[in-house]
Amino acid sequence: MHPLPRTNDEWLDLEQQYYMRHPLRTAPMVPERGEGLYMWDVEGNRYIDFQSGQLCVVLGHSHPRYVEAVCEQARTLMQTGTAFSVPSQILLAKKIAELMPDPLQKSIFACTGSESNEIALRLAKVYTGRFEVVSLTHGYHGQTYGSYSISGYGGAFRDGYGPGVPGVTFIPEANCYRCPLDHHYPECGIACAKYAEYVLDTTTSGKPAALFFEPLMSAGGMLVPAVEWVREIRRICTERGILMVADEALTGFGRTGKWFAFEHFGIVPDIVTQSKGLGGAVPLCAVTTSAEIADRAMERGFMTFSSHSGDPLLCAAGLANIEIIEQEGLVENARVVGDHLKAGLWRLQEQYDIVGDVRGLGLCLGLEIVTDPKSKTPFGAGVITISKYCFDHGLWLAGVGLPRKGDNQQDTVLRSFQPNIIRLMPPITLTIQQADEALEIIEGGIKAAQDEAPRPSAVSIQAAS
């Protein structure tokens, strides 16, 4: 028998032979161990994890009390299947109801964020008896067929898969840095919401079942909509009997400095989908709605289940995760440390022209990297330089990732969701000191990219030719 690979490169070479490597699998190192904010690769190199295991490990890696709760449940009862009601499931549903505003009360569980949106789609259709769905042009809701169909994006994300489910209409999101209507906030009077209403009324029956939105669009470019936009969308839904679905797969459970991101906007959605930060390190998702919607939908035959809907193991992990967030005051921590990190990023924006925009809430922050603030030309190559610098200095950023050995850099940029956005989403246990440590590294990366940025005159000449 051959010995196991030892280095990062040896493991990646072995992977090449046996694993279907997709374009977003870009990390050039192979993690072996995690603890708190840090991950170590198979060669023993340490990295600050500013991606929190794809935004899931809100407590950081292997929080001791979380691990203890998972082990305890694993020793007791791990999986039962659909037929059984188990205590951790019931207690988790009760806990979520306590965290949500009225009338959001009843939950159902499954595994991934994609699944949660799939369930919300079915729930909304059965409850309303309607079939059309509205979503946002850069919304991301998952990879299953329904959730993929209500996700925006074109290009590589659509290419080769044929049409999605019928009856989906896309409206523009609020993007005040790059307004699709070329307006300026707040003088615009939220023209994008008016246009959205126009599109909805002219391209649907006027009676869709649901409207899906992310209160903070992560894959869409770390966009935080204006409060008025969200309230307008709430009004549009209420007036037409459309169920407003907040996809909090990524933003829920403290990440934005509130338990749920929709709370920043003073509205209450009809359905909330949750995942990632709910289970922490295990695949758990929830769909929460009012008793009225849940009960009526059940009467009308709503049914959704899978072999792993609300496994005791997953729900016990979710419960422990939430209890630790509560007991350690991590929602408040995300707000305070997030504000500190954001202030540091604003300082960098003042100093470096390539930092076009700093945005986000709590510890869900983004940097838009441009060649210069005037032209706002997306500078994807700059993001690679920053990410590479940070990687070399022990900081893993969420963003486009890095080209691996033999990869074409341009392909890596083109395949990413938003190639010129850097996403900063560390565990919500982050301390001020750790934030400063990361900021120092990020500044080094930005400096390096700034030196490589095409000069504005060269950009305008290029654009003109």
Binding-site ranges for ligand PLP (CB under 6 A):
112-114, 117, 140-143, 214, 218-219, 247, 249-250, 275
**Between 118 and 443, CB nearer to ligand PLP:** 118
Q: Which residue is nearest to ligand PLP (CB)?
A: 113
Residue 148 CA, distance from chain mean position: 14
**Between 311 and 443, CB nearer to ligand PLP:** 311
Closest distance between ligand PLP and the C-beta of residue 216, in Å?
Answer: 9
Please say whether the beta carbons of 364 and 338 come within 8 A: yes
Please say whether the beta carbons of 452 and 382 come within 8 A: yes
Closest distance between ligand PLP and the C-beta of residue 27, in Å?
Answer: 16
Closest distance between ligand PLP and the C-beta of residue 338, in Å?
Answer: 18
**Between 120 and 439, CB nearer to ligand PLP:** 120
The β-bridge relationship of strands 104-110 and 285-290 is: antiparallel
**Between 140 and 302, CB nearer to ligand PLP:** 140
**Between 284 and 316, CB nearer to ligand PLP:** 284
Whole-angstrom distance, CA of residue 360 vs CA of residue 338? 9
**Between 285 and 294, CB nearer to ligand PLP:** 285
**Between 142 and 427, CB nearer to ligand PLP:** 142
Closest distance between ligand PLP and the C-beta of residue 425, in Å?
Answer: 10
Task: Using the structure block, give the residue that is written with the tokens 């459309």.
Answer: 242
**Between 84 and 145, CB nearer to ligand PLP:** 145
CB within 8 Å of 328: residues ≥ 6 apart: 429
Closest distance between ligand PLP and the C-beta of residue 121, in Å?
Answer: 12
Residue 338 CA, distance from chain mean position: 16
Q: Which of 461, 411, 465, 333 is nearest to 22 (CA)?
A: 411
**Between 216 and 297, CB nearer to ligand PLP:** 216
Please say whether the beta carbons of 442 and 434 come within 8 A: no
**Between 283 and 312, CB nearer to ligand PLP:** 283
Closest distance between ligand PLP and the C-beta of residue 218, in Å?
Answer: 5
Closest distance between ligand PLP and the C-beta of residue 30, in Å?
Answer: 21
Closest distance between ligand PLP and the C-beta of residue 113, in Å?
Answer: 2
Joined together, the tokens standing for residue 47 give 């990295």
| Torsion angles phi and psi, residue 226, rounded to 5 | -65, 145
Torsion sign over Cα 276, 279, 283, 284: negative
Closest distance between ligand PLP and the C-beta of residue 139, in Å?
Answer: 8
Count CA within 13 A, CB hemisphere, residue 299. 9
Closest distance between ligand PLP and the C-beta of residue 220, in Å?
Answer: 9
Please say whether the beta carbons of 318 and 280 come within 8 A: yes
Closest distance between ligand PLP and the C-beta of residue 275, in Å?
Answer: 5
**Between 219 and 330, CB nearer to ligand PLP:** 219
| Torsion angles phi and psi, residue 352, rounded to 5 | -125, 125
